[in-house]
Amino acid sequence: MLISSQDEIDLETWVKVTSYTEILERIGTSPLTVIEGDPGCGKSTLTLKLAQDWCNSSKISPLHRKDILILLKMKDLLGVQSISGAIKQSILPRNSRLTETDIENIVQKCKSGVLILDECEGYPDQETCLPSDVVNIFKGEKLQNYIVLVTTRSFSLLKCSPLGTRRIRLTGFNDRTRDEYIHRAIVKSDDKEVDEMKWHLKDVIGDLIQVPLIFVAFAHKLDEGVKFHSRTTVLKHVLGCFHGHMENKVVQQDVDRLRSFKHEHHALDGVAFDIATGKHGNTWDKGEMCQRVGKVFYESYLQCGIFVEKEGKVHENGSVQYNRKVKFCDEVICEWYAAHYLSKKLLDSKLNLLDVEKNMTPFKLRKVCLFASGINYNVGEKIKQYFGQKKDYRHFPLLCSLEMTQRIDAISSDLQKALHDATIRNNQDMLLWSTFQLLSAASRNDVSTFRVPEFGGGPEFVHLLV
């Protein structure tokens, strides 16, 4: 984790912290603290851990002396006028006799408390629709005696953050955290086995397994003797875990049906591609999803954990209607199925990459294209040819080759040449990411690069590399 701080001339710098308890020890008098990080890095898990420690009065938590802790999803604020309204609708039982006024009085009279708002990206129009008392809380004009934490995928998604907002960035699993997890959950005290497992991490999948969800599945598969050489093989085995676990639970006559759904998921691929290109949001109505993929297919993917279903609220004429919402369990899973759609359409020449590039963010585009390259070799050649003509993507085709061949020795000479003359400037985020991935692959596999690429710009580039 990294945490921002202000120096003597009011410039933002970043400091590494080693424990989640340090977060609350360092936030000082900031009216708002924003916890940011990529999907799967543990933002929501962190908020739940903070809440659990408070509920258990854990002495190691700086929150254990707080009188009250309120944990809400940002989407819980949709259609309500206040925090007390969100608490009434989202936390309390439906038959609770407490009114919003009662809740407001309790919250206001509390001498010290914590307010946690998770998933900022779940509130799409913060600038015009966010309840005024929430804006006042963010500005430090209300609930001044509360610690206020907000989680988001990107700080830029929070449109109403005041000056002096403290930022915390979750950077995923580092080497020490991975070692600790392997020791604790998989091989216990066998140092030799730990070292052997770590050796198999030496590939260009380091950024993918920084996502704790993927790393945990990855590490357990390694313990079973499975070897991975690309992000594509990692995702295949992760999803194999989902489906295999479900197959072990059902009667024999249902196994064939489940296995057919595992391999035949064309409708789901289209759903994922609509999400990846921004044609549809991450969350779907249950009925809408069932109509797209089929009810039996939907139930199968819900039971095995690829879909996550939650109760949603619709506000109509002053009343609240409850319905079921569904989304992928993790964004990287959605990107995997979107890559299948892209692969098929490119193979059939029914889609061109120029149109895809216009509708995807650059970093989502590279993840989907890398998966597509690993899924189908001929598609990978098309992707390499397209991006090889683009200056800011000139190293990206080498990453595609790694996915296609799963062998770094097959591209070692091209890798050396690419890294030897690499110079990256401030506005070349894609080239920076690609170069760093290639540099990591080279160093982990003892491929000589002759020199370290020159990275121009300020300390913000360090953040991109973390």
pLDDT in tens, 375-409: 999 999 999 999 888 877 777 888 888 788 766 55
Residues 129 and 184 in one domain: no
CATH number at residue 66: 3.40.50.300
What is the distance between the alpha carbons of residues 362 and 358, in angstroms, rounded to a whole number?
Answer: 9
Q: How many residues does the chain have?
A: 466
**Within 10 Å of residue 408's Cβ, how many Cβ atoms?**
22
What is the distance between the alpha carbons of residues 289 and 272, in angstroms, rounded to a whole number?
Answer: 11
Q: Smallest Cα–Cα separation from 146: which of 48, 45, 72?
A: 72
Residues 192 and 236 in one domain: yes
Residues 76 and 218 in one domain: no
Q: What is the DSSP string of 63-125?
A: TTT-SEEEEEEGGGGTT-SSHHHHHHHHTS-TT----HHHHHHHHHH-SSEEEEEE-GGG-S-
Q: What is the pLDDT of residues 404-456, one digit of tens each?
A: 876 655 555 555 555 555 544 444 455 555 555 655 555 555 555 444 444 44
Phi and psi of 325, rounded to 5°? -115, 155
What is the distance between the alpha carbons of residues 355 and 351, in angstroms, rounded to a whole number?
Answer: 8
Which of 252, 271, 291 terminates a domain? The answer is: 252
Does the pLDDT at position 227 exceed 60?
Answer: yes
Q: In which band, very low, low, confident or very high, does the pLDDT at 242 lie, cut at 50, 70 and 90?
A: confident
Q: In which band, very low, low, confident or very high, does the pLDDT at 235 lie, cut at 50, 70 and 90?
A: confident
pLDDT of residue 341: 97
Residue of higher predicted confidence among 449 and 349: 349
**Within 10 Å of residue 260's Cβ, how many Cβ atoms?**
12
Residue 438, domain member (yes or no): yes
Structure tokens at 6: 């202000």
pLDDT of residue 211: 58
pLDDT of residue 4: 58
Which of 117, 144, 169 terminates a domain? The answer is: 169
Residues 22 and 126 in one domain: yes
Residues 70 and 161 in one domain: yes
Residue 288, domain member (yes or no): no
Residue 29, domain member (yes or no): yes
Residue of higher predicted confidence among 23 and 194: 23
Residues 205 and 114 in one domain: no
Per cent of the chain over pLDDT 90 is: 21
Per cent of the chain over pLDDT 70 is: 61
Q: Which amino acid would we find at residue 369? A: C
Which of 252, 270, 287 terminates a domain? The answer is: 252
Does the pLDDT at position 243 exceed 50?
Answer: yes
What is the distance between the alpha carbons of residues 34 and 188, in angstroms, rounded to a whole number?
Answer: 35
Q: Smallest Cα–Cα separation from 122: which of 44, 32, 52, 47?
A: 44
pLDDT of residue 399: 82
Residue 328, domain member (yes or no): no
- Quote the strand ranges of 153-248, DSSP E: 166-169
Segment holding 372, helix H or strand E: helix 362-375
Residue 263, domain member (yes or no): no
Residues 217 and 162 in one domain: no
**How far from each other are the two terminal CA atoms of the chain, in whole angstroms?**
10
Residue 332, domain member (yes or no): no
Residues 197 and 71 in one domain: no
CB under 8 A, 24+ apart: contacts of 253-260: 257/296, 257/300, 258/300, 258/304
What is the domain extent for residue 197? 172-252
Residues 143 and 212 in one domain: no
Provide the 8-state DSSP code for 42. Answer: S
Residue 267, domain member (yes or no): no
Question: How high does pLDDT run on average in the chain?
Answer: 75
Residue 261, domain member (yes or no): no
Residues 34 and 164 in one domain: yes
Does the pLDDT at position 101 exceed 90?
Answer: yes
Q: Average the pLDDT over 308-328 and give the result.
A: 73
Residues 128 and 153 in one domain: yes
Residues 142 and 188 in one domain: no
> How many domains are contained in the chain?
3
Does this model's pTM top 0.75?
A: no
Q: In which band, very low, low, confident or very high, does the pLDDT at 216 lie, cut at 50, 70 and 90?
A: low
Q: Is 412 exposed, middle or buried (0-12, 13-18, 19+ CB in 10 A)?
A: middle
